[in-house]
Amino acid sequence: MKLKKLILSGLLATGTLTTLNSCVEAVALGVMAGALDEDEPEQEIPPLIMHDGPKGRYPIARPLEGTATYIRDPYTNKPVLVYGKPANSLLRSGLGGKRYYIPKLPQYPVAQAVAGKPNHFLNPYDGRTVKMSGYKPGALVASPTAGSFFYLGQ
């Protein structure tokens, strides 16, 4: 954390960040700035659930509530995107490279409705707003951007 703060403050002091040359630099800066937020309360990490999988005994991650594409790292409790990765695959945690298994997730995620915009939903695969008119809540629809399906939420 302190190393990131030193790097960020050094870049700001030298004028290196006067203009951002690419989207990658903008995203990296946003990630670094988000990691520097020390006012954020510490997340309570639930107890590990051990799993005897095909590659040994490691903890199994918990699914992130309301999605089928994210899990929670069992060591840090932070969300991790696992779209396209099969269940029982091993991932490495951001905390010292400890390993854990991906749980079996629901086949299709549920898109949440956008408040104040009828027939607009957040695509659960990429977070974009999509308009889905003519469908009832709970309908299975094709994602216009991800090439997969999702259910429409309430």
pLDDT tens digits for 76-134? 989 998 888 888 889 999 878 899 999 988 778 888 899 999 999 999 888 899 998 88
Same domain, 124 and 95: no
Task: Quickly state the pLDDT bin for 8 (edges 50, 70, 90).
Answer: very low
94/119 same-domain check? no
pLDDT at residue 144, as a whole number: 85
Confirm whether 45 is domain-assigned: no
At 140, list the tokens. 């299975």
Within the chain, residue ranges assigned H as helices are 2-14, 23-35
Query: What is the C-alpha to C-alpha distance for residues 136 and 72, in angstroms, rounded to an integer?
Result: 30
- Residue 42 maps to a domain: no
Dist. CA 122–CA 143, nearest whole Å = 10
Higher pLDDT, 146 or 119: 119
Task: Confirm if 92 and 99 have CB atoms less than 8 A apart.
Answer: yes
Tell whether 90 and 119 lie within a shared domain. no
The strand pair at 70-72 and 110-113 is best described as: unpaired
Surface-to-core class of residue 73, CB atoms within 10 Å of its CB (0-12 exposed, 13-18 middle, 19+ buried): buried
In a domain, 26, yes or no: yes
- For CA atoms 117, 145, 101, 36, give the dihedral sign: negative
Phi and psi at residue 47, to the nearest 5°: -60, 150
Count of domains forming the chain: 3
> Could you tell me which residues are beta bridge partners of residue 92?
99
Q: Are 90 and 57 in contact (CB under 8 A)?
A: no
Ramachandran angles phi, psi of 3, nearest 5°: -65, -45
Is position 44 within any domain? no
Instruction: Check whether 15 has a pLDDT greater than 60.
Output: no
* pLDDT surpassing 70 at residue 39: no
Domain containing residue 25: 2-35
Task: Check pLDDT > 60 for residue 22.
Answer: no
The reply to whether 10 falls in a domain is: yes
* pLDDT at 98 (0 to 100): 92
Residue 150, beta-bridge partner list: 141
Q: Is the pLDDT reported for residue 54 higher than 70?
A: yes
pLDDT band of 34, cuts 50, 70, 90: low
Average pLDDT, the chain: 76
Q: Is the pLDDT of residue 2 over 50?
A: no
Give the confidence band of 41 by pLDDT, cuts at 50, 70, 90: low
- 26, pLDDT greater than 80: no
Q: How confident is the model at residue 1 (pLDDT cuts 50, 70, 90)?
A: very low
Beta strands in the chain (DSSP E): 50-53, 56-59, 62-63, 70-72, 79-81, 90-92, 99-101, 110-113, 120-122, 129-131, 140-142, 149-152
43 occurs within a structural domain: no
Same domain, 94 and 59: yes
